Chains A and B, each alone.
Chain A
């Protein structure tokens, strides 16, 4: 029922009394930073016309219904010298660890989603959504296969007048490494550990799709519903988002430079090998 704060010498993040991430203090400046999980219910159609297709492997097509997964989150807090963590449980099939390592100036979100329930007969597409106070004015940026960032403007295409029949899916873009938004003062960037779909559906907010389970084929060729199972149950997905947030004016090095360095670490991580040393005392091994 109390506010919880974890952090290090670079940043502190706080969770409100309902267990949601609520604010961040970076470079001495306190800002709003909220994160939650939402899911879209999948469209169901007969696939006879283009306008009546089901959401499936090839297309993301929500039926217009957006559902927040919970109003209160259970928390467990772990604090130590190497890392500080908040373990969040959103519901029976969504949980997350939010952590700050002692020498890192980013926040790591390790999400765990699944198996997505389908007893109600509705396919679901789960997203992690971040809210900030940045006045991004409809603009956000996604990477191009890890290379330069491409400017995206909500409900806009550069070369024709756009009227989107599907305002959610029509504003989704591929994210293979990073999605970001900013205004004059603030910048938020989220680095992914795998290719995901992402968007900014309102100013200051970013979202990334982390898992989906669908019950109908979209008639684009695969002829199967995207309903992966293991031993009869839906798959569980676990992954990480690396969040960099701060003031554009006071960050040194710049936030974008820090994002690039972190991207190197995330996408080209060290390789871990393990060996049994039961036969060796430390001195022998040394």
Chain B
């Protein structure tokens, strides 16, 4: 409740006509951004709890061991959102060789979504929960995006796939794993030369 209230209160402030139209002073716009970011981050806790409950309804009811043939199902996933996908940057997908993508469909009918995730490798396999490989494609991130100032990212490709048959008001998860074809490939991909921009004096030389 308290987490949701933070977002409710922020959304209340955002009803102001200046927030809707963008006619607020710049420092007020910055403060609105801060409030919304804090509120969304707070609600991440709610998202995580709810998704874990949906993932494991047996555990939710407290009788997992007995109902599940003795396998203890005490896992919890940390579900993160990437606020920087709008500049094709994501810490998890760029740095992990295996990651899970969970898509929650907020519509009351089944749907689909083309998913684009920035990655640092050059070859990935996407599997659904049935073990069936989902067709995917590696697409280069445009140079104009890669060269954006203040976008410090190792991703030069996006892995793109179609997430199909997303249940109404439900979710579907995909397991994405990086394929390393040779030692050279690994060393090349995992140690990309970090772009340090010449006009970055604000952060010091160690800011990558």
- Please tell me which one of the listed residues B25, B78, B105, B127 contacts residue A224 in the complex, with CB atoms under 8 A apart: B25
Shortest Cβ distance from A87 into chain B, in angstroms?
Answer: 5
- Closest B residue, CB atoms, query A78: B139
Tell me the complex Cα distance, A233–B177, Å: 38
- Closest B residue, CB atoms, query A94: B144
User: In this assembly, does B189 line the interface, its C-beta being within 8 Å of a C-beta of chain A?
Assistant: no
User: In this assembly, does A32 line the interface, its C-beta being within 8 Å of a C-beta of chain B?
Assistant: no
Cβ–Cβ contact A101 & B113, under 8 A: no
Shortest Cβ distance from A93 into chain B, in angstroms?
Answer: 9
0/1 interface trace, chain A 79-91, chain B, CB 8 Å (1 if under)? 0111101010100
Shortest Cβ distance from B173 into chain A, in angstroms?
Answer: 8
Cβ–Cβ contact A265 & B111, under 8 A: yes
Residues 152-208 (chain B) with a chain A CB within 8 angstroms: 160-163, 166, 175, 177, 202
Shortest Cβ distance from A141 into chain B, in angstroms?
Answer: 22
0/1 interface trace, chain B 134-153, chain A, CB 8 Å (1 if under)? 01110110111100111000
Shortest Cβ distance from A81 into chain B, in angstroms?
Answer: 6
Q: Which residues of B contact A104 (CB under 8 A)?
A: 114
Shortest Cβ distance from A50 into chain B, in angstroms?
Answer: 18
User: In this assembly, does B41 line the interface, its C-beta being within 8 Å of a C-beta of chain A?
Assistant: no
Tell me the complex Cα distance, A148–B83, Å: 31
Q: Given that A264-B107, A286-B129 are known contacts, is A236 also in contact with B148, CB under 8 Å in the complex?
A: yes
Q: Which residues of A contact B143 (CB under 8 A)?
A: 87, 89
Q: Which residues of B contact A265 (CB under 8 A)?
A: 111, 113
0/1 interface trace, chain B 30-52, chain A, CB 8 Å (1 if under)? 00000000000000000100010
Tell me the complex Cα distance, A278–B100, Å: 9
How many A-B pairs have beta carbons closer than 8 Å: the answer is 143
Residues 258-286 (chain A) with a chain B CB within 8 angstroms: 264-265, 268-278, 280, 282, 285-286
- Please tell me which one of the listed residues A222, A233, A238 contacts residue B87 in the complex, with CB atoms under 8 A apart: A238
Q: Which residues of B contact A103 (CB under 8 A)?
A: 112, 162
User: In this assembly, does B86 line the interface, its C-beta being within 8 Å of a C-beta of chain A?
Assistant: yes
Q: Given that A112-B145, A238-B87 are known contacts, is A268 also in contact with B107, CB under 8 Å in the complex?
A: yes
Q: Which residues of A contact B120 (CB under 8 A)?
A: none
Tell me the complex Cα distance, A265–B136, Å: 21
- Please tell me which one of the listed residues A76, A222, A228, A270 contacts residue B113 in the complex, with CB atoms under 8 A apart: A270
User: In this assembly, does A3 line the interface, its C-beta being within 8 Å of a C-beta of chain B?
Assistant: no
0/1 interface trace, chain A 90-120, chain B, CB 8 Å (1 if under)? 0000010100011110000000100000000
Shortest Cβ distance from A120 into chain B, in angstroms?
Answer: 21
Tell me the complex Cα distance, A270–B110, Å: 11
Cβ–Cβ contact B79 & A275, under 8 A: yes
- Closest B residue, CB atoms, query A220: B23
Greatest chain B CB density within 10 A among A236, A268, A275, A278 is at A275
Residues 190-204 (chain A) with a chain B CB within 8 angstroms: none
Tell me the complex Cα distance, A196–B60, Å: 45
User: In this assembly, does A230 line the interface, its C-beta being within 8 Å of a C-beta of chain B?
Assistant: yes
User: In this assembly, does B103 line the interface, its C-beta being within 8 Å of a C-beta of chain A?
Assistant: yes
User: In this assembly, does B13 line the interface, its C-beta being within 8 Å of a C-beta of chain A?
Assistant: no
| Interface-facing stretch out of B1-9, B61-69, B88-96 | B88-96
0/1 interface trace, chain A 215-237, chain B, CB 8 Å (1 if under)? 00000111110001011010010
User: In this assembly, does B15 line the interface, its C-beta being within 8 Å of a C-beta of chain A?
Assistant: no
- Closest A residue, CB atoms, query B158: A83
User: In this assembly, does A58 line the interface, its C-beta being within 8 Å of a C-beta of chain B?
Assistant: yes
Cβ–Cβ contact B90 & A228, under 8 A: no
Cβ–Cβ contact A274 & B86, under 8 A: no
User: In this assembly, does A33 line the interface, its C-beta being within 8 Å of a C-beta of chain B?
Assistant: no
Q: Given that A273-B47, A274-B101 are known contacts, is A83 also in contact with B137, CB under 8 Å in the complex?
A: yes
- Please tell me which one of the listed residues A220, A233, A278, A286 contacts residue B149 in the complex, with CB atoms under 8 A apart: A233
User: In this assembly, does B102 line the interface, its C-beta being within 8 Å of a C-beta of chain A?
Assistant: yes
Q: Which residues of A contact B177 (CB under 8 A)?
A: 282
0/1 interface trace, chain A 234-256, chain B, CB 8 Å (1 if under)? 00101000000000000000000
Besides the known contacts A101-B114, A238-B86, 14 further A-B residue pairs in the complex with CB atoms under 8 A apart? A80-B160, A81-B137, A83-B114, A95-B142, A103-B162, A112-B142, A265-B113, A272-B102, A272-B103, A273-B80, A274-B101, A275-B92, A277-B96, A285-B175
15 residue pairs from A and B, CB less than 8 Å apart: A95-B144, A95-B145, A103-B112, A222-B25, A228-B26, A230-B150, A271-B81, A271-B106, A272-B82, A273-B79, A274-B81, A276-B98, A277-B100, A278-B99, A286-B129
